[in-house]
Amino acid sequence: MVSMADRFSLKGKIAIITGGAGLLGFQHAKAVAEQGGTPLLWDVNIVLAEKRAREINQLRSCKCRAFNVDITKVEDVKNAFMLILDNYKTVDILINNAANDPKPSTDEPLSWARIENFTTEMWQKDIDVGVLGAFNCSKIIGVHMASVGGGVILNIASDLGVIAPDQRIYQVDGLSDDQQPVKPVTYSVVKHALIGLTKYLATYWVGKNVRVNSLSPGGIHTNQPEEFVNKLTSLIPMGRMAKADEYQAAVIFLVSDASSYMTGSNMVVDGGRTCW
């Protein structure tokens, strides 16, 4: 009989994490390493990705490595994947984590993200990273998994892939309606799309032992302005935002054998926000 500890173990597993240099990507990688796996960080910011890899190796001595990969370019994905196969022979886990999440700042007009001002170029850039990038990686790596007996793909969606953004939490006193900042349309569209991609791929490769699920996390507290935090937490039954490491256990569950009878599902971990 397989023990509970063994079901959660990632010993000997190779995991590619896109956007691996980012806030959540780094947390995913640390979780994989802690469970005995080898995280490989794909990111366009190779300097930060290499720094993250060194930090993880100091913690776990797991031979984490960073790769400079633009996932919007299919040739980049193919070349990086072939390099990994040459060195590691296979890939067991893909975590599609990369996404743009632009936020208004005082250096630019607050109204840039409004539908009436949102440009086609902005739309395309966000869709390319969040959706096309996930498709490119899933296609190339998923085909390999299907050909060698299986694997796991985890798409990182969001609570805003389940519900629409509540634009009231971004409002600034004293501004007219047409100047109010908003969460860009692309973020929610991308995260909804990832849940759809999850269901499609789960049924497409179900006979090949490739499991595909998504995780929809809520917002992480990263020293945002107090007014914003107060507005957001008033929408969350637990009354707070998440800590950066609070999604690690969910990630490990979804990419390990602990979730062996789970595919095509979207796990929501949001402090209860989507209940209201």
Q: Is residue 51 part of a domain?
A: yes
CB atoms within 10 A of CB 58: 9
> Using CA atoms, how far apart are residues 259 and 276, in angstroms rounded to an integer?
27
Q: Is residue 200 part of a domain?
A: yes
Q: Is residue 182 part of a domain?
A: yes
Q: Is residue 128 part of a domain?
A: yes
Domain with 196 in it: 4-268
Q: Is residue 110 part of a domain?
A: yes
Q: How far is CA 46 from CA 49, 51, 68, 72, 207, in A?
A: 5, 8, 5, 16, 36
The answer to whether 240 and 233 have CB atoms below 8 angstroms apart is yes
Q: Which ranges in 117-183 belong to alpha helices (H)?
A: 120-127, 133-148
Q: Which two tokens stand for residue 40?
A: 């490989």
The answer to whether 5 and 245 have CB atoms below 8 angstroms apart is no
pLDDT of 59: 87
Q: Is residue 274 part of a domain?
A: no
Report the CATH number at residue 193: 3.40.50.720
Q: Is residue 226 part of a domain?
A: yes
The tens digit of pLDDT for each residue in 32-41 reads 999 999 999 9
Extract the residue ranges of the chain whose pLDDT is less than 70: 105-107
Q: Is residue 76 part of a domain?
A: yes
Query: Looking at the 3D structure of the chain, how many domains does it have?
Result: 1
The answer to whether 132 and 155 have CB atoms below 8 angstroms apart is no
